[in-house]
Every structure is written in C-alpha cells, then in structure tokens.
Chains A and B, each alone.
Chain A
Amino acid sequence: GQNIDQPTEMTATEGAIVQINCTYQTSGFNGLFWYQQHAGEAPTFLSYNVLDGLEEKGRFSSFLSRSKGYSYLLLKELQMKDSASYLCAVHPSNYQLIWGAGTKLIIKP
C-alpha cells in the first residue's frame, strides 16, 4: 500500500528551530510537497522537492532523500504565526497526491 507518516504534534519555542519529518512508501515518486495549514483555513503551498538535497526558501527549508523515502521541513527563527499544521504530500505517478495526516506545530513564547 501507499503510506505517509508524520508526527502528530510537535512543540517548539519562539525563536528556535524545528524539524518536521516525513517518511513515505509509495508505488512511484515524482515529487514531494509541503503545505502549511492554519486552523480553519485551507492549505497553502510551501515547497516542492523533486531531487535529493536541500531547498532553502527564507526561514523555511525542505530536504529530500529519495533512496530513504524521507523528507523534512526545517523552520528557523520560529514566530508565533508559524503555529499551524504542516502537511507532507507525495506525487506518486499521476495528478493525484498522497497526503500525510499532518503535523500540528505549537509555538510557545
């Protein structure tokens, strides 16, 4: 079957760094997405990794290892507004995405 695993919840402190992991087992792989979703709102696109390595975009970076079926989202200089759920999604072989259940990130002052 196809499966994506993420931690259910994480807590971090304002100003710190947090890493949210995602492991996947899918029948194919064309890319991996990270989305941010604030409570009661729609998901918004953060990053897209196709090749192995680290992609940096401001305070957010995303890493991919295709051989290990592993990705992480790194958030630096955490702000209170980063409190949200972070969704990992894999594009296996067609236009559909396989979604993880999401990681709820709680930021404390």
Chain B
Amino acid sequence: DVKVTQSSRYLVKRTGEKVFLECVQDMDHENMFWYRQDPGLGLRLIYFSYDVKMKEKGDIPEGYSVSREKKERFSLILESASTNQTSMYLCASSVAEYEQYFGPGTRLTVT
C-alpha cells in the first residue's frame, strides 16, 4: 500500500527558530513535492525534486530550502521561521506525471 509519512502532525515554533519538516515515501517514486495550503488558496508549490540531490523552485520558495540526500526522503527547512509561515505543509510524491500521493500534513504554528 502506498505510503507517505511526515515527521509531525502538529508543530509549534517560535519566530526565528530553524524548523525541519521531513517526508518519507516507500514507493520508490522519483518525484517529491512540498506544498503549503492556506484557507481560500489552492495548494502552492514551495519546492520539488525529480531525483536525489536535484531540486527545483516552485511558486513560493522564499524563506524555505530543501534537501534530498536519499530517494525516499525529502526535507523542508525554514531557516528562520516567521509568523507568515504558519500554515499546513503537505508533502507528496509521484511517478513521472502521474497522480501525486500525499502525506497527512504538518500543521505548523509560528508564534
């Protein structure tokens, strides 16, 4: 059964902290994605990766970085968390251009 897991369901951090969100998939998918989802807005792509050590900026990469050292693992890093980064963060993976499978999401609150 397809599975994408994320390190935390809920996270509370203070302004200025460095935040790590980790995503792991067990489907041997080449592509992995990080999105954020806010009320009234569609899913917005932060970064994606189509191979190990490869990354591409999405629509809103400012304030974020990513790391993909192993095929199954894709990490999102907030270098210095700010209150406007309070959001739901969703990780997804896919094979080529086919459907994306999502993790359960991490609801991050920055105070």
Chain A residues packing against B (C-beta within 8 Å): 4, 8, 30-31, 33, 41-45, 48, 87, 89, 91, 94-97, 99-102
Contact = CB atoms under 8 A, between A and B. Distances in A.
B97 A45 contact: no
Given A101-B40, A102-B42, A96 B105 contact: no
Secondary structure at chain B's binding surface: helix, strand, loop or mixed?
loop
B97 A100 contact: no
Secondary structure at chain A's binding surface: helix, strand, loop or mixed?
loop
Contact of B97 (A43, A87, A95, A101): A95
B101 A45 contact: yes
A101 B42 contact: yes
Contact of B99 (A4, A33, A100, A102): A33
**Contact-residue size bin, chain B (C-beta under 8 Å from the other chain):** 20 to 34
Contacts, number: 46
B75 interface: no
Nearest to A30: B97
Q: Which 8 A-B pairs have the closest CB atoms?
A: A99-B42, A42-B102, A99-B43, A45-B99, A101-B42, A95-B31, A43-B102, A42-B105
A48 B98 contact: yes
A42 B97 CA distance: 19
A96 B102 contact: no
